Structure 1
Amino acid sequence: MSDIIEPLFRSPSSFYCALGPYQRLLDCALKALGEAQAIQRIWARDGTLWRQAPEEVAEITNRLGWLDLPFTMRAQLATLRTLSAEVLAEGFSHVILLGMGGSSLAAEVIRLILGRSAGYPDLTVLDSTDPAQIRHTAAIAPLSRTLFIVASKSGLTAEVASLYAYFRAALLAEVGESWKRHVLAVTDPGTRLAALAQEEGFRALFFNPPDVGGRYSALSLFGLLPAALIGVDLERLLERAANMAAACNTPASGADNPGLILGAVMGELAHHPYPGRDKLTLLTSAELAPFGAWVEQLIAESTGKEGQGILPVEGECLREPKQYGADRFFVYLRLDTADNRGNDALLAHLVELGHPLVVLRLRDVYDLGAEFFRWEFATAVACQRLGINPFDQPDVESAKVQARNGLAQYEATKTLVEEPSVLRDGVLTFYGPMPSTSDASEYLC
């Protein structure tokens, strides 16, 4: 194993960088972030760290509530414990979360990594409108013993509204008017879902802090409510997150700030080398693999705009070291209690070949709470280095508008608009930019 890597796995440090010639980029970035007082300004909710236009600054300021979650969510623990005890006493065996994207990803990661405690209900996240998947989910457990969480920050997107309507009807048919005792909601104050929950008389309605965006909501009620119902130790999870938050609030030189360093490396490697190492490739111990899906959304939606971006690569099958291109930057989430021999050997070879590497070591799976916070903080820092706003999502909003317009047109005309094709090859039809070739294989290259 590499002389660079081997000492790492004997070190008590939980954070390690092997950047080679790119170390100078990190040093310059940390100096610039120090001069800009980035850490102090992030914790002071100073939106001008990212933008100058007053309307954008106001929006950013209203999206920094995630900084407080490791501390403020403790006030919700007693309520969540009481609800969990009631659910256990009433014999519920399953929880189904109806939600999309940021409203559901963290809950699924928590279930897959931390698991459920013995005797507690199991959790299924339904984040699809595919009829087969809906039918499969509905058949997992008797509806009479199933609790539903309707989760939507904005309050009933079309997908969540359709899922709710389907299961409401199914519950009504199965258990009659007591269906209301089977439904919880979590949303922002003042949304349509909040009004619906109150009108219909849901078992419980939880208001999430409105200054927390969906992809930054892992440690909010969107993640903690389903976690509580499956018996996760929330105090332990939040304690790890709070420790990481405190570590990310250490100004000085920033050299000991784990979120600042990761974010600076992410931003600089994507922006300054030519060509940039903008493909952040996440390698994990097997037990931590589900974390990648959450990181992927966080980074992709936060950074992919204005011609900038970091492409997160997760779940990729391991390759031979020499097969990785010069656009890669590797982050290794290493669970100390796991069998890591294969990953350790691969990473040693990658460092020898000159690929930059960051290693994040987790003592046990409850360090997941710390990683949720670290990556949120790092992504905000990376966006500052890229010169973009980490908290808006113009392409996401644009896609929603186009989807609504398309649905409205279909309702009016009963036809779908079909874009003109640019190339045909046998049974294949291609849509996209106009090609300079008539050969399909050349077009795809």
Structure 2
Amino acid sequence: MKLSVGKYQNELEMLCSYFHNEKVAERIWQKDYTLWSDKPDEISNRLGWLNSPASSLKLLSEINEFVSSVQKDGFKKALLLGMGGSSLAPEVFRLTFGVKEDYLDLAVLDSTDPASVKYFENNFPVEETLFIVSTKSGGTVETFSFMKYFYNQTLKKVGKEKVGNHFVAITDPNSGLETTAKELNFRKIFLNDPNIGGRYSALSLFGIVPAALIGVDVKNILQLAEAFSFTTKLNNCNDNVSAKLGLIIGLLAKNKIDKLTFINSKKLSYFGAWVEQLIAESTGKIGKGILPVVGEDILEPKQYSNDRVFVHFHLKNENDLNEKINALTNEGFPVIDISIDDYNEIGSEFFKWEFATIVASWVIKIQPFDQPNVESAKVVARKMVQEYKETGKLSELPISCEENGIKITSNFQSSSVRDQIQNFLSQLEKQNQDIPLPYVAIQAYVQMNKNNEELLQKIRTAIQQKYKIATTLGFGPRFLHSTGQLHKGDAGNGLFIQFIYDPEIDLPIPDEAGNDKSSISFGVLIKSQALGDRQALLDNNRKLITINLGKDIQSSLEKIFDCVK
């Protein structure tokens, strides 16, 4: 790791000395909760991940036996049903390593958008698909909805005797999913260490079982990660790269350089979504937060404000971004350069960032293992679902403006979509000196496909260039389990553009696995989640505009782009 931190070098060295004198690394491994809080709640029972590499290595024979049995039974595909920490590490493994010959082609379903669910139904024939139902709590509403839907689809095709053979659970002991999996006769139930939080579970069963199914050399990855983990026990910063990384991130955040901007090389680009959740959900609370910025277009140095620190993450032989990185360094921006020899070091990187995140949390004085604001959006969504079950309809948003098939809900009175958007974004020019510089978060409750992503990225880049501020892009409800905590828990410097649409297709969610009776659809669920998060943001005094794109997402997004640029 190479650091270029300019005028903060002296402060970093002083902080390193303090870290050493306070024996912070040692105390982390002793699971000393007083580093972050005066109460042990959700700390003492959340540090099991420190031992994940060693613990998972002990379970490898069981995992390999399971993979062999699945291959023997002729499964060709695996669909992981899960959210947040249960799905992001498997996605990194799949998109980084690909699929080894004769192993299962794995994909992740983490969207309640009906078109997304239908896509996987069409492209993953149930006869040859293994469904991995993955949730720590064992009660995640999205995960259970997916499970019930695909259980019923599989039941119709293969019959009651064989349906359980297509399902495997990864969960905590004594969870609701463990009970359900036993009742439905799942072929395998993996019980994870309950002392590991979701976003810290990459090297536990939640990450390693899916990785093994696609043929990743998990033994090598875990051995390298275990060897690396020993460096995090050292109190001397110069020997503990993870601690140093956390200290510099925390130090810069205290100085309002809180936009941690990842410039990942092409081959490691998928690491971003995992690290985004880890940092945002760990640090974004009680009016503080480090905003991870992933997937932004790389611009000229003059296009950035002074709230940026850049992380260049790449393979040693990937140098195509060096010129742009050097330009940022020469302009005086803090730059952290991290390179790895090959993909097998990804496990060590998971561990490095997990450790760095809890060290950064120590620096900025927050508790990294809880997520106090996540529940607020769920509460409102549940209330809306209940209302729908009782009345057969969802509450409608008041419309501030309707034009060309686009409906906008905002605090501004204007009949023009352009004026609505310009008025909303003009708030970026009124900066509060007491809090970090603003950012714009695009929250898109649409299908996560190439066309939608490209158009949303165009809008994002136009805002980034015009206002010289940090931008993020998240697909709902996926981001609710990632950056959603920070959106509601940080200093309140975010502006939120929420996109929803009117689905042309909808799919029923079975009330119970094995029974077609349904009282709610995926379309109702995702709308409830969007409206629930909207209300939670407003309850936390966040600046928000909701844009209903109607039925033609592509055309409406093009119109929005024209209004922004």
Distance 1:260 1:300 in 2: 18
Aligned position for 2:457: none
- Matched residue type, 1:279: K
Aligned position for 2:498: none
What per-residue deviation string (whole Å, max 9, x for no partner) do you get for residues 248-279 of structure 1?
A: 1112x3222111111111111011x2xx1100
What per-residue deviation string (whole Å, max 9, x for no partner) do you get for residues 17-56 of structure 1?
A: 011111123122212222322111110001110001x3xx
SS at match of 1:332: strand
Distance 2:71 2:241 in 1: 39
What per-residue deviation string (whole Å, max 9, x for no partner) do you get for residues 222-266 of structure 1?
A: 111111111111111101211221111112x32221111111111
Pairing partner for 2:184 from 191, 197, 200: 200
Q: 1:432 to 1:40 in 2, by over 3 A?
A: farther
Pairing partner for 1:355 from 333, 336, 347: 333
Contact 1:18 1:356 in 2 (8 A): yes
Distance 1:198 1:306 in 2: 40
Deviation at 1:105, TM superposition (A): 0.6
SS at match of 1:88: helix
Aligned position for 1:411: 389
Deviation at 1:429, TM superposition (A): 5.5
Aligned position for 2:266: 286
Contact 2:401 2:409 in 1 (8 A): no
Number of residue pairs matched? 420
Deviation at 1:324, TM superposition (A): 1.6
SS at match of 2:327: helix
Pairing partner for 2:248 from 262, 265, 277: 265
Deviation at 1:315, TM superposition (A): 0.8
Pairing partner for 1:63 from 46, 59, 71: 46
- Matched residue type, 1:297: Q
Deviation at 1:322, TM superposition (A): 1.9
SS at match of 1:212: coil
SS at match of 1:280: strand
Distance 2:246 2:411 in 1: 34
Deviation at 1:418, TM superposition (A): 4.5
SS at match of 1:377: helix
State the superposition RMSD in angstroms.
1.8
Residues 122-271 of structure 1: matches in 2 within 5 Å?
122-176=105-159, 177-251=161-235, 253-271=236-254
- Matched residue type, 1:444: L
Aligned position for 1:10: none
Distance 1:175 1:285 in 2: 43
Deviation at 1:90, TM superposition (A): 1.6
Q: TM-score, normalised by structure 1?
A: 0.90
SS at match of 2:203: coil
Contact 2:246 2:357 in 1 (8 A): yes
Pairing partner for 2:303 from 302, 305, 323: 323
- Matched residue type, 1:316: E
SS at match of 2:239: coil
Q: Does 2:315 match 1:335?
A: yes
SS at match of 1:308: coil
Aligned position for 1:308: 288
SS at match of 1:17: strand
Distance 1:24 1:405 in 2: 52
Aligned position for 2:76: 93
Aligned position for 2:480: none
Distance 1:391 1:321 in 2: 35
Q: TM-score, normalised by structure 2?
A: 0.72
Distance 1:357 1:229 in 2: 36
Distance 1:351 1:420 in 2: 47
- Matched residue type, 1:323: Q
- Matched residue type, 1:97: L
Distance 1:245 1:76 in 2: 18
Residues 13-24 of structure 1: matches in 2 within 5 Å?
15-24=1-10
Deviation at 1:136, TM superposition (A): 1.5
Distance 1:260 1:179 in 2: 47
SS at match of 1:155: coil
Contact 2:412 2:423 in 1 (8 A): no
What per-residue deviation string (whole Å, max 9, x for no partner) do you get for residues 367-393 of structure 1?
A: 110110000001111111111110000
Aligned position for 1:297: 277
Deviation at 1:317, TM superposition (A): 1.2
Distance 1:45 1:326 in 2: 36
Distance 1:293 1:433 in 2: 32
SS at match of 1:60: coil
Query: Once structures 1 and 2 are overlaid, which stretch shifts more, 38-47 or 131-140?
Result: 131-140
Q: Does 2:11 match 1:25?
A: yes
SS at match of 2:2: strand
Query: Once structures 1 and 2 are overlaid, which stretch shifts more, 405-414 or 64-73?
Result: 405-414
Query: Once structures 1 and 2 are overlaid, which stretch shifts more, 401-410 or 142-151?
Result: 401-410
Aligned position for 2:257: 277
Query: Once structures 1 and 2 are overlaid, which stretch shifts more, 141-150 or 388-397?
Result: 141-150
Distance 2:269 2:22 in 1: 35
Distance 1:230 1:399 in 2: 34
Aligned position for 1:8: none
Deviation at 1:203, TM superposition (A): 0.1
Contact 1:93 1:141 in 2 (8 A): no
Distance 2:402 2:148 in 1: 42
Distance 1:121 1:418 in 2: 43
Stretches of structure 1 lacking an aligned partner (at least 5 in a row): 1-14
Contact 1:114 1:366 in 2 (8 A): no
